[in-house]
Homo-oligomer: A and B are copies of this chain.
Amino acid sequence: MTATATSTTPSMPKGWVVPFPEGDGSQRDLLGGKGANLAEMTRLGLPVPPGFIVTTEACRAFLRDGEVPDTLWEDLRAALAHLESTAGRRLGDPERPLLLSVRSGARYSMPGMMDTVLNLGIDDVTVEGLARVTGDRRFAFDAYRRFLQLYGKVVMGVDGALFEEALQRQMGKAGVAEDAELPIDGLVDLTKVFAELIRREAGEAIPRDPVEQLHRAVQAVFHSWNGRRARDYRRMEGIADDLGTAVTVQQMVFGNLGSRSGTGVAFTRDPATGEPRAYGDWLPRAQGEDVVAGIRRTRHLSELGTEFPRCAAELTDALATLEAHYRDMCDVEFTIEDDCLYILQTRVGKRTAHAAFRMAVDMAEEGLIDRREAVARVQPAQLEQLLHPRFEPTAEPEVLTTGLNASPGAAVGEVCFDADDAEARAAEGRPVILVRMETAPDDLHGMIAAEGILTARGGLVSHAAVVARGMGKPAVCGADGLVVDDKRRILTVGEVTVAEGDVISIDGSRGLVARGEVPLVTPEPTGAFATLLEWGDVFRRLGVRANADLPADAAKARELGAEGIGLCRTEHMFLGDRLPLVRRMILADDEADEQAALDALGEVQRDDFRALLEVMDGLPVTVRLLDPPLHEFLPDPAELLVSEAKGELDDKGRELLAAAQYWSEANPMLGTRGCRLGIIKPGLYVMQTRALLEAAADVKRSGGDPQVEIMVPLTVTARELDLVAGWVRETVEAVLAEAGVDVTYRIGTMIETPRAALRADQLAQTAEFFSFGTNDLTQMAFGFSRDDVEARIMPTYLERGLLEADPFGTLDPTGVGRLVRIAVEEGRSARPDLHLGLCGEHGGDPASVHLCHEMGLDYVSCSPMRVPVARLAAAHAALGITTGSAADA
């Protein structure tokens, strides 16, 4: 059997166990990530303690059949013999006992989710051998009692708390406060107490035969694949349940064995900043946990050479070897036992978003990777992280507690305990953090008013989390130990109390809650950021535009790389100081009055358009003719009715009330909107078209190059589009003739009703472009009113798994996506040069951008801040790098 053969025919392995030297790094499926890397490092000649791997195949067979495969123990015995000869020690040898670690290691990292056994091979006899060999009897018995504790719990199924209690009793007896202070006699006693505890609780003693111990340990690790924690973790991370885990069996080395020992963690580059120099922490005379636990103050890697010059040099070489080999930043766990360096584990290391960008660019420039790989190395999600505010890196926040990173970004504000209070405080201009046990739909106004949200309960798809992400507000949910006392208007975490109005800070990207004001930074795009996006632009096929209505937003979008405006909503041109004109138009008694109001609106809107076209000069600007129902420009009739009941309305107020009632609709989303409104008020679209084209003509005359796209909203029939497009074209031509200039323009339509998608072949007869309005398309395909369903229904649906993802966040591939596919295919067959874009909020969601690429769209359009994300996602899509997409439901 060779490892390669095993990996290419995984369903028929020729053996169940692979010694490190026979495996390699490509065999993650068979050997698990940890095992494959250990094999790879062994091959690279790095100082890895010898060992072997029981394959995932063996685990799958065990889980399937309920017993280990026939020849597993045979294979294991052979590998063990090889290991013993390499290590020069034997398992169970009273003189020079071999001790083993038995660890899980699956295809995908599941840190801490499965079980581990250490120090296997120790017993009443070999412990003495270990003591002699190491010259440290205390060390030997401490290792023994740790073995019993772990094996008893993991393999024999004894409640771990019982060992802790016994340890406490022993410490009490000895009059010491820490286990490290236990005298040697106490430790020896403790091993007897633990052994008896196991016999009593498990109904049997630990097997005498260390090989038998090993068999049972391997099976226990297999079992832990299906433990509750492991299953929950896999569900959360989307890891398949049928992969199984490998088991790595390896000689133990000890960093706590006397003063010539130590242990540490090292990175080939700085994982926080990306700086190209080795980085790490270590502790003399310590075990791995000690470095991570943060109890002892660790020392910088740069200091290792002063105490262990030979090991430090060897480590430096090893790091260089690894980075060159893996062509990426690696981290390693290393141990020095008696002045000998061992590498216990390596993997491609985690890094901050900032570091990821810097490393990708540096490595490409160093020639370690190519630009394609550099682009592939950074994730759109990291980019989003870079664009959100975060705690100032040098700040030292007084962390109150941690919770789930429910919605990214950081915020600072005064604590408020209810939505009304939050709203009132925010109205006074004071920033607010809304703190609730959990939120409900009637907290919505408070969430809107708040800078950020903190809850004591609830998961990543709780109401608070879903709504906060939807709003783009930072949120920390399910914060540990947080108690909210609504009545007393305080929150407590352990001993700490924070009162209403006190300032706290939250970091929703990391799940941190801190007392007081932590300074925030909104990262500016760095050089690496811009470089990497430019590299990505070379690969991507999909264009990226921005949804922007105002010149400032458009300028920001252009700066962030937008190649045009995919959606300029004209609604804002009807609000603010224009509202009186709009109301005059709605309330007009006759056509002349209506036209006068329209003319006045046209005057001001021409200036709006000119400013926008100037900012986007040379790039396409898609202007959507007015879409919302007219009642959005009128007051709420219920409020006016209340005023009337109180006798507060004058004639003008009553006229407004009548108009508000006339235009109010049962389901405005499906009412008098879009081109329907345009058709019953034809002067409206003519006015908008005239204002836009007069602006374009102005820009053109001033030497600019305006690129106008006029978009008809909410069409359902080709005849509607024909009618409106006819008015538009007539107006455009009239204005251009008056102005005596030529301006490039296109007329197209939004595809935002299911029927429009199904009639795309007909619409494409007239439309020169389609822009998929996937927000509305999602609303209508699902029958989901976003306003109503997002808060009331969506959390339940996501929690119960009735939907894989919120379809307003990630484009539904099988329902809404199918409509888009139909329209793309049939629209293009009717008009081969039909230009196709998407301008729903999905345009900034990486999974949706991938889908748009697959569906053959020409561009996506998203909010200006998400333009970089869309650019990167589009590059990834073109490079065939998959992003998790919503599954069927």
Give the B-binding residues of A (Cβ under 8 A).
441-442, 637-638, 641-642, 644-646, 662, 665-673, 676, 679-680, 714, 716-720, 723, 752-755, 758-759, 762, 776, 779-785, 787-789, 792-793, 796-797, 800-803, 812, 814-816, 818-819, 888-889
**What DSSP secondary structure best describes chain A's contact surface?**
helix
In the complex, residue of chain B having the shortest beta-carbon distance to the beta carbon of A888:
B762
Task: Determine which of B662, B670, B787 lies in contact with A779 in the assembled complex, contact meaning CB atoms within 8 Å.
Answer: B670
Assuming the contacts A670-B667, A714-B783, asked whether A755 and B812 have C-beta atoms less than 8 A apart, the reply is yes
State in angstroms the CA–CA spacing of A782 and B816 once bound together.
Answer: 15
| Pairs A-B, 6 closest by C-beta atoms | A670-B785, A667-B785, A755-B815, A671-B788, A638-B638, A717-B889
State in angstroms the CA–CA spacing of A752 and B669 once bound together.
Answer: 17
Instruction: Please tell me if the beta carbons of B802 and A723 are within 8 angstroms of each other in the complex.
Output: yes
Contacts A642-B644, A679-B800, A716-B815 given; 15 further ones with Cβ under 8 A? Answer: A641-B642, A665-B785, A668-B785, A669-B783, A670-B785, A680-B792, A717-B803, A719-B800, A719-B801, A723-B800, A723-B802, A752-B783, A753-B782, A758-B781, A762-B888
* Chain B residues within an 8 Å CB radius of A762: 888
Instruction: Please tell me if the beta carbons of A754 and B815 are within 8 angstroms of each other in the complex.
Output: yes
Assuming the contacts A645-B642, A717-B802, asked whether A672 and B792 have C-beta atoms less than 8 A apart, the reply is yes
* Chain B residues within an 8 Å CB radius of A797: 679, 720
Instruction: Please tell me if the beta carbons of B662 and A442 are within 8 angstroms of each other in the complex.
Output: yes
Instruction: Please tell me if the beta carbons of B780 and A719 are within 8 angstroms of each other in the complex.
Output: no
State in angstroms the CA–CA spacing of A819 and B818 once bound together.
Answer: 12
Instruction: Please tell me if the beta carbons of B889 and A789 are within 8 angstroms of each other in the complex.
Output: no
7 A–B contacts, CB within 8 A, in A order: A668-B788, A670-B780, A717-B889, A719-B800, A720-B802, A754-B819, A758-B815
* Chain B residues within an 8 Å CB radius of A666: 668-669, 785, 787-788
**Closest-CB distance, A706 to chain B (whole angstroms):** 31
Instruction: Please tell me if the beta carbons of B667 and A819 are within 8 angstroms of each other in the complex.
Output: no
* Chain B residues within an 8 Å CB radius of A442: 662
* Chain B residues within an 8 Å CB radius of A819: 754, 758
**Closest-CB distance, A786 to chain B (whole angstroms):** 8
* Chain B residues within an 8 Å CB radius of A723: 800, 802
Assuming the contacts A645-B645, A753-B781, asked whether A680 and B796 have C-beta atoms less than 8 A apart, the reply is yes
* Chain B residues within an 8 Å CB radius of A676: 789, 793
* Chain B residues within an 8 Å CB radius of A669: 666-667, 670, 783, 785
Instruction: Please tell me if the beta carbons of A672 and B793 are within 8 angstroms of each other in the complex.
Output: yes
State in angstroms the CA–CA spacing of A414 and B684 once bound together.
Answer: 41
In the complex, residue of chain B having the shortest beta-carbon distance to the beta carbon of A721:
B802
* Chain B residues within an 8 Å CB radius of A759: 814-815
Copies of this chain in its oligomeric complex: 2
Instruction: Please tell me if the beta carbons of A679 and B776 are within 8 angstroms of each other in the complex.
Output: no
* Chain B residues within an 8 Å CB radius of A717: 802-803, 889
In the complex, residue of chain B having the shortest beta-carbon distance to the beta carbon of A637:
B638
In the complex, residue of chain B having the shortest beta-carbon distance to the beta carbon of A642:
B645
In the complex, residue of chain B having the shortest beta-carbon distance to the beta carbon of A669:
B667
* Chain B residues within an 8 Å CB radius of A645: 642, 645-646
Instruction: Please tell me if the beta carbons of B783 and A716 are within 8 angstroms of each other in the complex.
Output: yes
Instruction: Please tell me if the beta carbons of B802 and A781 are within 8 angstroms of each other in the complex.
Output: no
* Chain B residues within an 8 Å CB radius of A679: 793, 796-797, 800, 802
* Chain B residues within an 8 Å CB radius of A758: 781, 814-815, 818-819
Instruction: Please tell me if the beta carbons of B783 and A670 are within 8 angstroms of each other in the complex.
Output: yes
* Chain B residues within an 8 Å CB radius of A719: 800-803, 889
State in angstroms the CA–CA spacing of A788 and B888 once bound together.
Answer: 34
Instruction: Please tell me if the beta carbons of A788 and B646 are within 8 angstroms of each other in the complex.
Output: no
* Chain B residues within an 8 Å CB radius of A646: 645-646
**Closest-CB distance, A825 to chain B (whole angstroms):** 14
State in angstroms the CA–CA spacing of A716 and B888 once bound together.
Answer: 11
Instruction: Please tell me if the beta carbons of A793 and B680 are within 8 angstroms of each other in the complex.
Output: yes
Instruction: Please tell me if the beta carbons of B889 and A785 are within 8 angstroms of each other in the complex.
Output: no
In the complex, residue of chain B having the shortest beta-carbon distance to the beta carbon of A663:
B792
State in angstroms the CA–CA spacing of A670 and B787 once bound together.
Answer: 10
Instruction: Please tell me if the beta carbons of B781 and A672 are within 8 angstroms of each other in the complex.
Output: no
Instruction: Please tell me if the beta carbons of A783 and B637 are within 8 angstroms of each other in the complex.
Output: no
In the complex, residue of chain B having the shortest beta-carbon distance to the beta carbon of A889:
B717
**Closest-CB distance, A439 to chain B (whole angstroms):** 14
State in angstroms the CA–CA spacing of A175 and B349 once bound together.
Answer: 118
**Closest-CB distance, A66 to chain B (whole angstroms):** 29
In the complex, residue of chain B having the shortest beta-carbon distance to the beta carbon of A671:
B788
Instruction: Please tell me if the beta carbons of A781 and B793 are within 8 angstroms of each other in the complex.
Output: no
State in angstroms the CA–CA spacing of A544 and B783 once bound together.
Answer: 28
* Chain B residues within an 8 Å CB radius of A673: 783
Task: Determine which of B668, B752, B782, B793 lies in contact with A755 in the assembled complex, contact meaning CB atoms within 8 Å.
Answer: B782
Instruction: Please tell me if the beta carbons of B716 and A789 are within 8 angstroms of each other in the complex.
Output: no
**Closest-CB distance, A392 to chain B (whole angstroms):** 40
Task: Determine which of B642, B668, B793 lies in contact with A667 in the assembled complex, contact meaning CB atoms within 8 Å.
Answer: B668
* Chain B residues within an 8 Å CB radius of A812: 755
State in angstroms the CA–CA spacing of A666 and B666 once bound together.
Answer: 8
Assuming the contacts A802-B717, A815-B758, asked whether A785 and B671 have C-beta atoms less than 8 A apart, the reply is yes
State in angstroms the CA–CA spacing of A718 and B753 once bound together.
Answer: 22
In the complex, residue of chain B having the shortest beta-carbon distance to the beta carbon of A644:
B642
**Closest-CB distance, A126 to chain B (whole angstroms):** 55
Assuming the contacts A716-B782, A781-B758, A802-B679, asked whether A788 and B670 have C-beta atoms less than 8 A apart, the reply is yes
Instruction: Please tell me if the beta carbons of B670 and A889 are within 8 angstroms of each other in the complex.
Output: no
Task: Determine which of B642, B667, B718, B789 lies in contact with A788 in the assembled complex, contact meaning CB atoms within 8 Å.
Answer: B667
State in angstroms the CA–CA spacing of A642 and B644 once bound together.
Answer: 8
State in angstroms the CA–CA spacing of A429 and B800 once bound together.
Answer: 52
**Closest-CB distance, A742 to chain B (whole angstroms):** 32
In the complex, residue of chain B having the shortest beta-carbon distance to the beta carbon of A677:
B793
In the complex, residue of chain B having the shortest beta-carbon distance to the beta carbon of A787:
B666
In the complex, residue of chain B having the shortest beta-carbon distance to the beta carbon of A778:
B755
State in angstroms the CA–CA spacing of A526 and B202 once bound together.
Answer: 88
State in angstroms the CA–CA spacing of A662 and B442 once bound together.
Answer: 7
* Chain B residues within an 8 Å CB radius of A783: 669-670, 673, 714, 716, 752-755, 776, 780
Task: Determine which of B780, B788, B789, B888 lies in contact with A780 in the assembled complex, contact meaning CB atoms within 8 Å.
Answer: B780
State in angstroms the CA–CA spacing of A776 and B667 once bound together.
Answer: 13
State in angstroms the CA–CA spacing of A642 and B637 once bound together.
Answer: 11
Instruction: Please tell me if the beta carbons of B642 and A789 are within 8 angstroms of each other in the complex.
Output: no
* Chain B residues within an 8 Å CB radius of A792: 671-672, 680
* Chain B residues within an 8 Å CB radius of A665: 785, 787-788
State in angstroms the CA–CA spacing of A637 and B676 once bound together.
Answer: 29
**Closest-CB distance, A670 to chain B (whole angstroms):** 4
State in angstroms the CA–CA spacing of A719 and B782 once bound together.
Answer: 14
**Closest-CB distance, A446 to chain B (whole angstroms):** 15
**Closest-CB distance, A847 to chain B (whole angstroms):** 18
State in angstroms the CA–CA spacing of A788 and B755 once bound together.
Answer: 18
Instruction: Please tell me if the beta carbons of B671 and A789 are within 8 angstroms of each other in the complex.
Output: yes
Assuming the contacts A780-B783, A783-B776, asked whether A670 and B754 have C-beta atoms less than 8 A apart, the reply is no
State in angstroms the CA–CA spacing of A819 and B644 once bound together.
Answer: 47
**Closest-CB distance, A414 to chain B (whole angstroms):** 27
**Closest-CB distance, A771 to chain B (whole angstroms):** 16
State in angstroms the CA–CA spacing of A793 and B716 once bound together.
Answer: 13
**Closest-CB distance, A638 to chain B (whole angstroms):** 4
